[in-house]
A and B are shown apart, each in its own frame.
Chain A
């Protein structure tokens, strides 16, 4: 079981002997842990139980499985046995026990070998077991054994064994699982098959034409189709001895008898006989047959064939004819036929003899051999000897080769084939000679002998081989060359010489050439007999005899090993020198005297950047910078004149990519044998690095400390850019914590840019800080994808150095970047290291200077500020003086102005002295009253007299009160004009006091407000109209909730009425209950009536009806109207009415309208809020100053308009459906009640509208 279980062991709790104060947090944690642990334990318990069950099930399954396998084991068709190392059977299945005929128990104590009788099988078994034990592989091959069962049965068994799979046991000690397969039946079947196979093999062996089979007693059992077809019999007809019926009558008896004999003796059947074919002709047939024998040698059958030999017979006839024809041909052959009679007189002289010897037959016939000069004298003795031999009969057939004379005296070489014909008593009857002219052959042989002598003695090895390549002959030189003696070489295939150095292709090409009849020539490396290699040049010539097929090849071999070796040495030497040339680190260029390149090495190409082919098209001096060319000219001249042997020079080259390279060059000449210079050899090395280091040193020395630091950094940047060939140079000062840098010089593409501060993060600078050198030769752009500068310029390379301060802290960076890969990082590194010390010093010096400068600047700044302050206060003083002076002047002007204003004011102004005399009256009094100013000044009682009688009391009261008053007062009253008309006057009264508080008199201002009064009345009427319209609108708005308000009592009434009817139907009816029902109906009816009444009041159009009111009642009635509305809108209304408030004077309907209007507005404002948040608060409270404050507070979004007073303007609305008149009307109603409406946003949320109503004073009533 492979489980990973998280073990959450409770941590050992800290146990203290004394009760430590329990940390509640710790306790909680422990509890949580305990809970977790308990949960874990429960889960574990569950799993444990489940596992237990699972295991029980597994065991049961295993048991079943074991039983199944046991059954399988016993019922298997093969026997299983387990053999221990001694070969004892330790376990066996039932099949094995049955097979061996032993009870299983007993079998398990026996050796397997006990069942083997045959020694061959015993040996096989031992070998099998040994093999199995020795081998590591599980299953071994099958061994077939013959066993003898305990009951004597013979068994053929196939034995397969595999070592018991057990670890750690050495092979050979293991037990074997063996499988015994009873193959007895199979063996028998095989035997039968083998016999049958034998039979057919016999048939096959003799098959030619017509197969037949006969039984052991000779009766035919089978004849093949072809035979039956030949004789026109069916198989049945042919069976037994039916075939005898179609035999030729002459052959029948003989054949049958012979067959019987053959069957009896068991010999081979072979006979020629004739069968009558269906075509009516007799066919000669050769019959052959063999007896088929079983293992005991008994004949079980006969099998054979019938061969139609009619064609054979025909062939015999043809042969005879051919022989005759051959004889004819012999007669007419080129051989001369000559015959001598008994006395050696010529009796026969054939045409060929005439051709060979030139004599015609009539010239020689009848003559003796001595009669004409015919035999060469040199050969006379030989010829005589032959003749004697022949004539004596000692050697009747005698061959001789000798020279004869032709008729014209020329010599002809002849071969004589003589035979003597003797009669019965040994007397010579005639000599017959066949003569062959071999003159041509002899001549050729002689020539060949001559040639071969020449060849034999030749220095070149010569070998002649036949068409198959087998060596026929070799000369001694060949033997010397190859180490094979002539005798050894002949009969060999030239393959023995193969060294393996030439490819199969090479040989194929060679054979193709020579088999095509062409001569092949080539060099090849061969191996001698002693194994050493040699080079040879071989010419292979195919030889055709008489232009026919190729019959021979002649190989002529020349040893060229020495030449080859010399060549090889030369080539190796050349390669060595070339290698030196090619791989030299120094650039080498060989040019002709005119400076054109002949050859250069790879180093030279690398240095200049040009390929050799490019260089070949240009003059080498063009590589040198024009200004450096001149200095070399004299040297070259001197070199070519022979004045100097060589020279060395340093000058600048232009690399192919444009950059200059400093080269050190050593030039010498190559001269021909006569001493004339032929070539110039230049050895060049790149010394740019050294030069640049030198230049950097020079630069540092040049830029002294006098220069300002900015100039220094710019010069440094420029120097680095040029000398390193980079596109961007940046010198930074590290600021802050080393995470940001402030540049002191940026050189980009040759131009300086403005200094910037930047963060080092994501730039190579980040890596650089704290390291002396940081170099990215290529791909820097890809490494720093977020560095905008590197990305922008598509930088390829980057190298930077840290500038170290005196305190060993990094103070700055120098970074250079280029668009090309950095070719020489080492140089760049050296240069940067060189300048870094100086740059760091400069950076620190600049920093110190900057600090100093800043301190000085700060001081100056402070002085400037103080000066400015002083100047400012001075100016203020001056301004003040000027202002005062102006004020004095203005005062004088004002007096004049005020007087003018008073005189020309529209209102009627007058002044009274403290003793109530009029001392000034403005001229406008005449317009208001018809009386002149003089009249008022002259008559103090005039004012009193013109007051309208109805307002006289008011006026009188005002006069009395005003005597004690110190505050301004105002009253309105009517006056009667001089012409008798009545005017409304607004009288504003004001006591005037001097600066010292002295009472100076009274100023009064009277304004004619007659027109305004008329307007006011008209406005009042309009307002009432409007208020009514507004009320009805509001009532319409409330219709839905009012309907609901009506619905409630109606529902109750309806329900009660129906219930009452049911109650009445009961027997007896519950009278008390019915009375209750009727009471409820009455109550609800009144309730519905009340609703309707209130509604009607809203619709009623009334004039102003002022009366004493309890404002709380007014508010309650309004809330009654709105009850349903609150419910519908989900508004919770809080009401706080201060009890026992004094009365106010006012119009009930109008005030109700104001409250209604404000509440409806508040609900509208809250309609956007969530229902739970809609809170309305209505309150009343008495306030100081004799007013009652009525507030309506909502929790809506508040007033959004500014200024708030805008709300009260006509037609201003924030509602989609509003008229924009509600608040305006409310305001006007309140104004008519001596009050006004105020609105303000609450501190938390929503807005509050409030108004104060003046309390009605009873004493004033």
Chain B
């Protein structure tokens, strides 16, 4: 499984459904990978970096589809999800959509509807990938900082003045000024506001 080819991951406890959906998706020309349970998906398939989306049954023994969604979110995996359910009620679908699901299809559904949802999910995956790359860059810049610079960065982001930072770290204000200058340089930002934005974006991610 490579970031090159977009893959659809089908997770459903019912073998017939699994087989039928896989067949339909393959026929539409996409690569597909199937899992009988959320656990199996987590243990084998996930998390695939790169393009892809998940077609996920809500009701499954063990971890439910919603549980899997939460787990992926906790693992910081934001692969777009298309939910399918034999008995979808509104609260459940609202919950799933709120957590970022692309669509919520009620069984039995038309293959065309599923394909449309999968297309949408793929588009979203591409967007996510792009923003993730930006965050990775910020993270890379932060990794360049020395321990002291990182301490200074944290305090700058908190809004402390050089004088306060110097008192906090037991260093001269002059020294802190130099540290601060280096932080700005390494983070490639021009203002404290930009610095805070950069750190915040990484923080949300990590």
Interface residue ranges, A against B (CB under 8 Å): 1-6, 39, 42-43, 46-47, 50-51, 53-54, 57-58, 1040, 1043-1044, 1047-1056, 1058-1059, 1062-1063, 1077, 1080, 1083-1084, 1087, 1124, 1126-1128, 1130, 1132
Contact = CB atoms under 8 A, between A and B. Distances in A.
B19 A1052 contact: yes
Given A1048-B16, A1080-B16, 17 more contacts: A5-B170, A50-B178, A1040-B87, A1044-B59, A1044-B86, A1047-B108, A1049-B16, A1051-B16, A1051-B84, A1051-B107, A1056-B24, A1058-B24, A1058-B111, A1062-B27, A1062-B111, A1077-B23, A1124-B86
A1127 B20 contact: no
Contact of B172 (A1, A42, A1052, A1087): A1
Contacts of A1: 172
A1127 B86 CA distance: 12
Contact of A1080 (B20, B114, B151, B175): B20
Contact of A1051 (B62, B86, B176): B86
B178 A1132 contact: no
* Top-5 shortest CB links A-B: A46-B148, A1052-B16, A1047-B86, A1055-B20, A50-B178
B16 A1130 contact: no
Contacts of A1084: 16
Given A54-B178, A1127-B59, A1128-B59, A1050 B172 contact: no
Contacts of A1087: 16
Contacts of A1077: 23
Contact of B175 (A50, A1063, A1130): A50
Contacts of A39: 147
Nearest to A6: B170
B20 A1051 contact: yes
B40 interface: no
23 contacts: A3-B171, A4-B170, A5-B170, A46-B146, A47-B148, A50-B182, A54-B175, A1044-B59, A1048-B86, A1050-B107, A1052-B14, A1054-B110, A1054-B111, A1055-B24, A1055-B108, A1056-B23, A1058-B111, A1059-B24, A1059-B27, A1062-B111, A1080-B19, A1127-B61, A1128-B87
B23 A1059 contact: yes
Contacts of B109: 1051, 1054
Contacts of A1054: 108-111
Interface in B98-117: 107-112, 114
Contacts of A1052: 14, 16-17, 19-20
Contacts of B170: 3-6
B16 A1127 contact: no
Interface in B159-197: 170-172, 174-179, 182
A573 to B, nearest CB: 76
A51 B27 contact: no
A3 B174 CA distance: 12
A4 B168 CA distance: 11
A795 B174 CA distance: 64
B21 interface: yes
Contacts, number: 122
Nearest to A1128: B59
Contacts of A1044: 59, 86-87
Contacts of A1080: 16, 19-20
Contacts of B112: 1058
B178 to A, nearest CB: 4
Given A46-B146, A46-B147, A1048 B171 contact: no
B61 to A, nearest CB: 5
User: Which of B19, B174, B175 has the most CB atoms of chain A within a 10 A radius of its CB?
Assistant: B175
A1 B84 CA distance: 67
A53 B174 CA distance: 9
Nearest to B176: A50
Interface string B60-104: 111010000000000000000000101100000000000000000
Contacts of B16: 1048-1049, 1051-1052, 1080, 1083-1084, 1087
Given A1055-B20, A1056-B20, A54 B14 contact: no
A1132 B174 CA distance: 65
B27 A1048 contact: no
B172 A54 contact: yes
B60 to A, nearest CB: 6
Contact of A51 (B20, B62, B64, B172): B172
A281 B172 CA distance: 97
B19 A1127 contact: no
Contact of A1043 (B20, B62, B87, B171): B87
Interface string B1-39: 000000000000110110111011001000000000000
A1177 to B, nearest CB: 15
Contacts of B19: 1052, 1080
Nearest to B173: A54
Contacts of B60: 1127
A1055 B21 contact: yes
Contacts of B177: 54
A1127 B107 CA distance: 16
A1132 B17 CA distance: 22
Contacts of B87: 1040, 1043-1044, 1047, 1128
B172 A3 contact: yes
A1058 B109 CA distance: 10
A54 B110 CA distance: 70
Nearest to B150: A46
A50 B179 contact: yes
Contacts of B17: 1048, 1051-1052, 1055
B90 to A, nearest CB: 15
Contacts of A1062: 27, 111
A1062 B148 CA distance: 63
A1059 B151 CA distance: 59
B93 to A, nearest CB: 15
User: Which of B60, B149, B177, B178 has the most CB atoms of chain A within a 10 A radius of its CB?
Assistant: B178
A39 B147 CA distance: 8
Given A1047-B87, A1048-B14, A1055 B111 contact: yes
Contacts of A1055: 17, 20-21, 23-24, 108, 111, 114
Contacts of B27: 1059, 1062-1063
B116 to A, nearest CB: 13
A1130 B20 contact: no
Interface string B128-160: 000000000000000000111101000000000
Nearest to B177: A54
Nearest to A1046: B86
A185 B162 CA distance: 53
B61 A1126 contact: yes
A54 B146 contact: no
Contact of B64 (A2, A6, A58, A1130): A1130
Nearest to A54: B174
Contacts of A4: 170
A47 to B, nearest CB: 5
Contacts of B86: 1043-1044, 1047-1048, 1051, 1124
A1069 B61 CA distance: 38
A1135 B171 CA distance: 68
A1069 to B, nearest CB: 12
A1079 to B, nearest CB: 11
B148 A43 contact: yes
A888 B170 CA distance: 103
B111 A1059 contact: yes
A366 B91 CA distance: 165
Given A51-B175, A1087-B16, A1048 B107 contact: yes
B154 to A, nearest CB: 13
Nearest to B182: A50
A1126 B60 CA distance: 9
Nearest to A39: B147
A1051 to B, nearest CB: 4
Contacts of A1126: 61
A1062 B25 CA distance: 11
